[in-house]
Amino acid sequence: MAKELSDNEMETLIEKFRAGMDIKDRKYLGKVYPQCFLGSEAVDWLMKNVNTLKKRNEAIDLGNKILEKKVFQHVLNEHKFKDKELFYVLLPDTSPKSLYNRLGGYKAVSAVVDDFVDRLKVNQVLLANPHIKEAFLKASPSALKYSITEIVCNATGGPQNYTGRAMRESHDHMKITEKEWESFAGDFKNTLDKFKVPEKEQMELFSIVGSLKSEIVTGELLYTRLGGITGIATVVDHFLNLVLADPVITANQHVKHAVEKASVPAFKYLVIELVASACGGPQKYSGRSMKESHKNLKITENEWTVFAGLFKKTLDHFSVPVTEQNELFGIVGSLKGDIVEGSTAKSLYERLGGFHAVATVVDDFLDKLKTDYLLNENPYIREANKNGNPAAFKFLVTELVCQVTGGPQKYTGKAMKESHANMKITDREWQQFVALFKQTLDKFKVPLQEQSELVTIVVSLKNDIVTA
């Protein structure tokens, strides 16, 4: 039996099939049948052009799969595809084309990449980075252009496989900054405009390129952007002075007692160490875990809200930019479940309803994934759905969700990066995954607050899952 073609391989084959048929007027019993081809000739073509075919009956089966996709039909619509001198006509091409084909295939991609790389090599913003400049000097221009062409072809649905190093591995040492990324994107836009790439295709390309940003922009960590240890220490010191003097927070007798017992300088030191470490600095947090250090403080939701307000007030006082504020709030927000222990401060796991509710949500969600048409276009996902053990998979995902939402369970499966490394999941497939997750949460009427927390957790796993 011949190997089953992936959707991308089938799309490419259909394009070649349309161009490869010997289309001409044919005569039978005195009647002329215009612009058609013979079934036996099509079988000959398939045997020659599809190297996985060994027997003519395999070519017939493949031809019928192409026919079922409304690519061609018998002139009188009386026969399926056969290895005979029957006449067949091509039908109008109404199928959606991959981005790769809409761009014009590898020839068009190569031309775009050639122009784009030439722009990068004279971009003064990029060349001001000595790591980028050295990389350009050492790299073979033709090899660089080939590698980028390979990436773009693969990411847009072409048959090419990317054979180079991972984005993070090849860019980590370059310390590329946000400013350099923006300049890079500007050159890309100028190249696309030069070749008159339509707006829709440009948007899809930028979506693909954007999905690689976190692997490429490795310079200027949040720690650096905040001004290193000097900036962080200044902010934390000011913030903790507000916290320790706030009447709402100090009205909590457990907090007040802890403050009276503690060394304020030591407390400030540990919080500075914690923030610096979480922002990517060289410091390593040496204190107790958040859950352990806050377990007897009975901090309420209201006190947490006041705490967050004081943090925002501090950041505004020091004119911390919005981007950095959002990143800091993301870090602080991730600690809430370990800090807030008052009567209204249940963990996300408890608010969801424990493992009973989590298992129910996971069961529905994974059933959606298994039957989703878009996700199953990916042959690696389709293969996993076909050969995987559904019960074991649901157990492991339930275990994982319980753990990350604050439950007592401990995840025992493989790491996300390891379990998804060979699945070549794209950004488009990731977006579909998140949309299906949202559908399940809506179905079970999960409140918006809990939905937001769940989606935040899921999104934090993206870089380990999206590998194409």
Q: Which of 339, 366, 386 is the last residue of a domain?
A: 339
Band of pLDDT at residue 57, cut at 50, 70 and 90:
very high
Count of the separate structural domains present in the chain: 4
More confident residue, 307 or 388: 307
Handedness of CA 243, 246, 250, 252 (dihedral sign): negative
Band of pLDDT at residue 359, cut at 50, 70 and 90:
confident
Q: Would you give the distance in Å from CA 22 to the centre of its chain?
A: 43
Q: Which of 182, 216, 250 is the last residue of a domain?
A: 216
Its domain, for residue 321, covers: 222-339
Phi–psi pair at 398, nearest 5 degrees: -60, -45
Band of pLDDT at residue 220, cut at 50, 70 and 90:
low
Note whether residue 403 is domain-resident.
yes
The label of the residue with tokens 């048959």 reads: 159
Output the pLDDT for position 344.
47
Which pair of tokens denotes residue 459?
A: 């999104």
Phi–psi pair at 183, nearest 5 degrees: -65, -40
Note whether residue 409 is domain-resident.
yes
Band of pLDDT at residue 1, cut at 50, 70 and 90:
low
In this structure, are 197 and 111 located in the same domain?
A: yes
Most confident of 160-164, 343-347, 357-361: 357-361
In this structure, are 321 and 227 located in the same domain?
A: yes
Q: What is the mean pLDDT of residues 447-468?
A: 79
Q: What is the mean pLDDT of residues 4-11?
A: 79
Whether residue 69 is predicted with pLDDT greater than 80 in this model: the reply is yes
Distance CA 395, CA 429 (A): 23
In this structure, are 288 and 374 located in the same domain?
A: no
In this structure, are 295 and 230 located in the same domain?
A: yes
Q: What is the mean pLDDT of residues 173-177?
A: 83
Note whether residue 52 is domain-resident.
yes
Output the pLDDT for position 188.
94
Handedness of CA 394, 396, 399, 404 (dihedral sign): negative
In this structure, are 177 and 237 located in the same domain?
A: no
In this structure, are 384 and 450 located in the same domain?
A: yes
Q: What is the mean pLDDT of the chain?
A: 86
Residues 6+ apart with CB under 8 A from 373: none
At 393, which CATH number?
1.10.490.10
Note whether residue 397 is domain-resident.
yes
In this structure, are 142 and 248 located in the same domain?
A: no
Note whether residue 98 is domain-resident.
no
Most confident of 14-23, 331-340, 370-379, 446-455: 14-23
Please, are residues 409 and 355 in contact by the beta-carbon 8 Å criterion? yes
Above pLDDT 90, what percent of the chain?
29
Least confident of 68-77, 180-189, 358-367, 387-396: 387-396
Whether residue 211 is predicted with pLDDT greater than 70 in this model: the reply is yes
Note whether residue 95 is domain-resident.
no
Q: Which of 422, 424, 439 is nearest to 369 (CA)?
A: 439
DSSP conformation letters of 23-47: -EEEEETTEEEEEEEEHHHHHHHHH
Phi–psi pair at 34, nearest 5 degrees: -75, 145
In this structure, are 332 and 427 located in the same domain?
A: no
Distance CA 310, CA 248 (A): 11
Band of pLDDT at residue 2, cut at 50, 70 and 90:
low
Which secondary structure element, helix H or strand E, spans residue 270, and what is its range?
helix 264-278
In this structure, are 121 and 210 located in the same domain?
A: yes
Note whether residue 73 is domain-resident.
yes
Please, are residues 314 and 239 in contact by the beta-carbon 8 Å criterion? yes
Q: Locate all alpha helices (DSSP H) within 318-412, ordered by sequence.
A: 322-333, 336-339, 348-352, 354-371, 379-387, 390-404
Distance CA 172, CA 282 (A): 17
Whether residue 174 is predicted with pLDDT greater than 90 in this model: the reply is no
Distances (CA, A) of 315 to 189, 267, 293, 319, 322: 34, 20, 25, 6, 9
Output the pLDDT for position 95.
66
In this structure, are 329 and 360 located in the same domain?
A: no
Instruction: List, for residues 227-264, the tens digit of each pLDDT value.
Output: 999 999 999 999 999 999 999 888 889 888 888 888 89
In this structure, are 449 and 354 located in the same domain?
A: yes
Distance CA 274, CA 65 (A): 59
CB-neighbour burial class of residue 28 (10 A; exposed 0-12, middle 13-18, buried 19+): exposed
Instruction: List, for residues 130-158, the tens digit of each pLDDT value.
Output: 889 999 998 888 888 988 998 998 888 88
Whether residue 343 is predicted with pLDDT greater than 50 in this model: the reply is no
Which pair of tokens denotes residue 12?
A: 């490419």
What does DSSP say about strands 72-74 and 31-38: parallel, antiparallel, or unpaired? unpaired
In this structure, are 358 and 452 located in the same domain?
A: yes
Note whether residue 2 is domain-resident.
no
Whether residue 379 is predicted with pLDDT greater than 90 in this model: the reply is no
Which pair of tokens denotes residue 85?
A: 């001198």
Distance CA 430, CA 351 (A): 26
Q: Which of 39, 55, 90 is the last residue of a domain?
A: 90
Band of pLDDT at residue 177, cut at 50, 70 and 90:
confident
> Would you call 224 helix, strand, or coil by DSSP?
helix
Q: Which of 423, 431, 421 is nearest to 374 (CA)?
A: 431
